[in-house]
């Protein structure tokens, strides 16, 4: 392992630990952080809908591949071929986003007569649908970037 690769690894470790160090120095305890993480996950589940769970798994996998690609490039190592699971993950992220959109639309409009439409509930369901699409497309874009060969 070269000195450059070791420095890149240490830099990535320091950057990943920085938010925790800042929170700790501000007096945030570990149980508060865990509670906030849990409520954040539940809030995301509420905001995006049930498709958030598989989207979250895909996001972690695709983001790890993108970070590996960044670290490899920064260390000056040649880029490796993209893993075989990346193409299906990108397609799945897109399809899950669209599935969340359809699901949110169905929830918003199912069983409602035109004279019984409540704008607040409808806006909530449509917002969930659009956020699901946004998350799916965001994951796919990161995946396409991670798959791209360096110029």
Tens of pLDDT, residues 32-89 = 767 776 776 676 666 566 777 888 888 888 988 888 888 888 888 887 888 888 899 9
pLDDT-based confidence at residue 123 (cuts at 50, 70, 90): confident
HEC string for 77-135: CCCCCCCCCHHHHHHHHHHHHHHHHHHHHHHHHCCCCHHHCCHHHHHHHHHHHHHHHHH
- For residues 110-123, average pLDDT: 79
What is the predicted pLDDT for the residue at 2? 65
Which pTM was predicted? 0.64
* Dist CA 102 CA 66 (whole Å): 29
| 136 touches 88 (CB < 8 A) | no
Contacts (Cβ under 8 Å, ≥6 apart) of 50:
100, 103
Number of residues assigned to the chain = 151
Task: Please report the pLDDT score of residue 46 as a whole number.
Answer: 66
Q: Is the pLDDT of residue 151 over 60?
A: no
Element (H, E) at 34: helix 30-48
Give CA–CA dist 47/38, Å, rounded. Answer: 14
Encoded tokens for 61: 């996998």
Q: Classify residue 105 as exposed, middle or buried by CB count within 10 Å of its CB (0-12, 13-18, 19+).
A: middle
Ramachandran angles phi, psi of 70, nearest 5°: -65, -45
Which has the minimum average pLDDT: 1-5, 31-35, 94-98, 141-145?
Answer: 1-5
């Amino acid at each position: 392992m070269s000195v450059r690769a070791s420095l890149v690894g240490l830099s990535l470790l320091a950057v990943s630990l920085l938010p925790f160090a800042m929170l700790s120095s501000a007096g945030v305890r570990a149980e508060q952080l865990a509670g906030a993480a849990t409520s954040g996950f539940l809030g995301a589940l509420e905001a995006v809908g049930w498709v958030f769970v598989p989207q979250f798994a895909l996001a972690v996998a695709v983001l790890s591949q993108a970070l590996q690609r960044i670290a490899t490039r920064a260390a000056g190592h040649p880029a490796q071929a993209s893993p075989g699971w990346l193409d299906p993950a990108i397609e799945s992220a897109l399809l899950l986003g669209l599935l969340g959109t359809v699901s949110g639309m169905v929830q918003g409009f199912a069983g409602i007569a035109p004279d019984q439409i409540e704008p607040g509930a409808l806006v909530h369901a449509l917002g969930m649908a659009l956020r699901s699409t946004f998350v799916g497309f965001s994951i796919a874009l990161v995946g396409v970037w991670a798959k791209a060969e360096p110029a």
